[in-house]
């Protein structure tokens, strides 16, 4: 039997609430203002883009732990590029920054490789362009 990990409820007015069952943490979504919504929370496509960044950071964190690299303070800027017809994510641009990262060139390459091969990155369609830059 498969374990249910979350429930999602439609709240009306183009809003949803997702509940992670183990932790009871919640995420709300709202349609963006350019698509009939109020834009008062992440849109579902925003979450896809943010999830890609979070996944990359998580896998990088695992590599950093193994390598003895302090990754705390790593940040990203995430840009989502949409197309109109059909309405979909065309590109996700992620820029990593950590001005004080102390790591060898080999360790930095391991971190980069971890990012671009994270499970979310590998699960998204090859048609969705992923542009990833590292500033350190």
What pLDDT shows up at residue 121?
Answer: 98
**C-alpha span between 117 and 123 (Å, rounded):** 10
Which residues have CB under 8 Å from 108's CB, separation 6+? 101, 134, 136
| pLDDT surpassing 70 at residue 1 | no
What pLDDT shows up at residue 2?
Answer: 87
What pLDDT shows up at residue 45?
Answer: 96
Structural domains in the chain plus CATH codes: 6-35 (no CATH), 44-135 (3.30.300.20)
**C-alpha span between 108 and 134 (Å, rounded):** 9
**C-alpha span between 6 and 22 (Å, rounded):** 8
Q: What integer is the mean pLDDT of 25-42? A: 94
β-strand pairing of 87-97 with 129-135: parallel
Give the tokens for residue 99.
């001005």
What pLDDT shows up at residue 77?
Answer: 98
β-strand pairing of 26-30 with 15-20: antiparallel
Question: Please, what is the average pLDDT of the chain?
Answer: 96
The pTM assigned to this predicted structure is: 0.94
107 compared with 37, residue with greater pLDDT: 107
């Amino acid at each position: 039997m498969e374990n249910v990990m979350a429930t999602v409820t439609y709240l009306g007015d183009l809003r949803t609430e997702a509940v992670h069952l183990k932790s009871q943490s919640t995420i709300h979504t709202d349609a963006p203002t350019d698509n009939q919504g109020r834009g008062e929370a992440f849109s579902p496509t925003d979450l896809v883009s943010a999830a890609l960044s979070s996944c990359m950071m998580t896998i990088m964190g695992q590599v950093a732990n193994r390598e003895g690299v302090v990754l705390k303070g790593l940040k990203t800027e995430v840009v989502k590029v949409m197309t109109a017809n059909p309405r979909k994510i065309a590109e996700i641009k992620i820029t990593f920054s950590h001005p004080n990262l102390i790591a060898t060139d080999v360790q930095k390459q391991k971190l980069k490789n971890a990012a671009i091969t994270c499970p979310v990155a590998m699960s998204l369609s090859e048609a969705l362009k992923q542009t990833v830059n590292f500033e350190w």
